[in-house]
Every structure is written in structure tokens, then in C-alpha cells.
Amino acid sequence: MQAKAAVNEKPVHSIDNAFASKFAKSMFLAVCGLLILTFIGTRMFTHVDLNLYGYMVGTIVFIGGFFYRFIAWGERPPTKIFIKKGIKLIFRKSTPKTSVEHLATYRFIWNRGIYRWTQHVLIGWGCILACCVTFPLVFGWMYFTMDDNGMYNIILFGMQIMTVPAEGIIANLSYNALNITAVMVISGVCMVLYRRFKNMQARAEQKFMYDFLPLIMLLLVSITGLLLTFLNIFMHGEGQPAMSLIHQWTVIITLIYLPFGKLAHIPFRPMSVLAKNYREHYGEQSMKKCKVCETEFVSTEQSKDIVEVLGVNDIHFKTEEGYHLAELCLPCRRKYRIAQFSGFPTHEVKVKEANQNAKG
């Protein structure tokens, strides 16, 4: 007689059981966090500037959309690996330098030429500075008051942090901060459009909806913003209400679209620091040699992670020679794919492409 032991497993009571998936839980927590920040920023919804109400709605949708896309992107197996390992390496000695080069000076674009570097700096910093001014104003975190004696007060979270002359440099910079960023964005966008229309290769690779539409939207936001200032100063407010409405709609539409289009790489940019830390750290440990040409092309850890991720997704790229396609450098991998169509083993020809090490 065989004895059967019934093993009764107790159900695990976890907060995860309340959601359809981990993604749904992350999205719920992100929305709750956004609601709490809005509650605090508007001081229990009592300090809401109705003139900025439309911008607030657009900003909330933008932040919600950004969290949605970021969480969806972060749930992918390849992304999970480099984020998890990149965070562990956040205290590398090179992190401050990498952060400055990737997030402030855009040094990684310098190799593509000073023209492209300049356009990225103008657009990138123009958008970042505009957000740093707009978001605190929209959520009531910061506002300005004027005293009878001509002094200008800057209020942050209900605290008066600075009092400056209304005609002074700091006050004028505060008035014109968005005008300055608008000029930066317009200059950068015009440089981009000029290059893409003039350069035949760049023009052939562009799509209107994905590549040109975001630039046009940035251009409209910046131009309508400058027109508001022009109408107020030189036209004594003539046409200002209509232009204010046009500007508000361009900003709202751009904010709603931003997380889901090409411009999303601006708020995603900090993740490049984690990616570089991941590549550099494991590259210093050991490098993977290409199975065909024996050129060191990636870290051993990264190659192993790629093979594992593909395996998790039931994607296998085993060649007849017995190695994985991820164990080939890019030129040899390209030749191997050609060989599948031509029948000629081009991946075994140990001749490199002329531009394989080209920068930019």
C-alpha cells in the first residue's frame, strides 16, 4: 500500500493578488503618487490658477503617459537586466563624469560634429529649462508677487525665498525665462530641419509623422509663446486672448503626445547612464571574442545576458557551426545573414567593412 501525503499549501496573501499583473500594480502606484504630488503642490487643491488649468491637465496626462511608457519599457526582459545591474553600479567612480557627459554637455554627440551637437544642446536644454519653469508654476509650487515698493517676491512652496528689484537682472530673467528657452528651441529645431532637408541620406531615412511632426509641434509651441510676449509688449495686448488659447492648445497637445513619440527619449535620457555603467563595468572584467574573426566586440556578461533573454522568449539563433548568433560581432553577423540568402558563407570571409569603426 502506497501512502499518499497531501501537501496543503497555504495561499500567499500579497498585494500583488489585487492586480491583474505587476505592470498594473506599478501603473496604479504611479498614478497614486502623481495624485499625491498634485495634492501637495496645490496645497490641497486650494491654490489652482485657473489660467493655468489647461496646462495642469496636459501636464498630468504627460506625466501619466510617461510613467505608463516607462513602466511598459522597464518590464521588458532586456531592460530589466541592464536597469537592475546598472543600479547596482550607480556608485562607480565614473558615474559623475558619465552623467555630465550624457545629461549636461552631450559629449557623446560631439563625435558626430559640432553642428549636430549644437542643435541637440539647444533643443535638449531648451525643453528641460522650459519644463523646470512651467511645471512648478502649473502645480502652484512656485509663484511671484509684487510689492508696492517695486520689489519682486519669488515664492516656493509657500515660502518667500527671494526678494529682488522688479527691474533687476534676476527679475528680468524670471520674466523672460520661457522666452529664452523658446529662442533656444526654435534655433535648434531650425538647425535640425535645415540639415534633414539638405542631407539626402538624412532626408531619405525620415518619416513625416515620426521625425518631422514632433519638431513642428515644438516649433509651434515656441513661436506661439513668443507671439504672446510680442502682443503684450508691442500690441498692448491686442489679440492676446486668442493667441493665449492657441498657445495653450499647442502645449497641451504636445505634452500629451510627447511620451508616445520620438521626443520621449528626452525624459528617458538618464537611463543611458545606467546602460554605460553596465557596458563599462563588465567590459573591464572580460570581453567576448567573435566566434568568426575573434575580435573583442562586447563584454562576456552582456553576450551571456543576450543569449539568456532570447532563451526566455523562446528565441534561438543557433548556427550550423554550433554557436549563437549573439556571439558574432556586428559585421560578421551581417555577413551571416547575407549567407543565408546567397548560399555563400560570407561570414567566414575575414575581411572587415571599411566603416565598421566609424564614429557618429
Beta bridge partners of 163: 153
Instruction: Map out the domains of the chain as residue ranges.
Output: 20-272, 286-348
Rounded CA separation 22/9 (Å): 23
Q: Give the Å distances, CA to CA, from 196 to 199, 200, 263, 331, 356.
A: 5, 7, 17, 27, 24
Cell of 200: 539626402
**Assigned fold of 20-272:** Fumarate Reductase Cytochrome B subunit (1.20.950)
Amino acid at 284: E
Q: Which H helix or E strand runs over 288?
A: strand 287-289
Q: Give the Å distances, CA to CA, from 319 to 292, 315, 340, 348.
A: 12, 13, 11, 13
Rounded CA separation 122/75 (Å): 32
DSSP string, 144-158: EEE-TTSEEEEEETT
pLDDT, one tens digit for every residue, the chain (360 residues): 444 444 444 455 567 778 877 777 877 888 788 788 778 777 777 777 777 888 888 888 888 888 888 888 888 888 888 888 888 888 888 899 999 998 899 988 888 889 999 999 999 999 999 988 888 888 878 878 888 787 888 888 777 888 888 888 888 888 889 999 999 999 999 999 998 888 777 777 778 888 888 999 999 999 999 999 999 888 888 888 899 999 999 999 999 898 888 888 888 888 889 888 888 888 888 898 888 788 888 888 888 888 888 877 677 777 777 778 788 888 888 777 777 776 666 555 555 554 444 444
Rounded CA separation 225/210 (Å): 24
Asked if 300 contacts 281 with a C-beta cutoff of 8 angstroms, the reply is no
Give the global pTM: 0.78
In this predicted structure, what is the pLDDT of residue 343?
65
In this predicted structure, what is the pLDDT of residue 352?
52
Asked if 174 contacts 165 with a C-beta cutoff of 8 angstroms, the reply is no
Rounded CA separation 244/226 (Å): 11
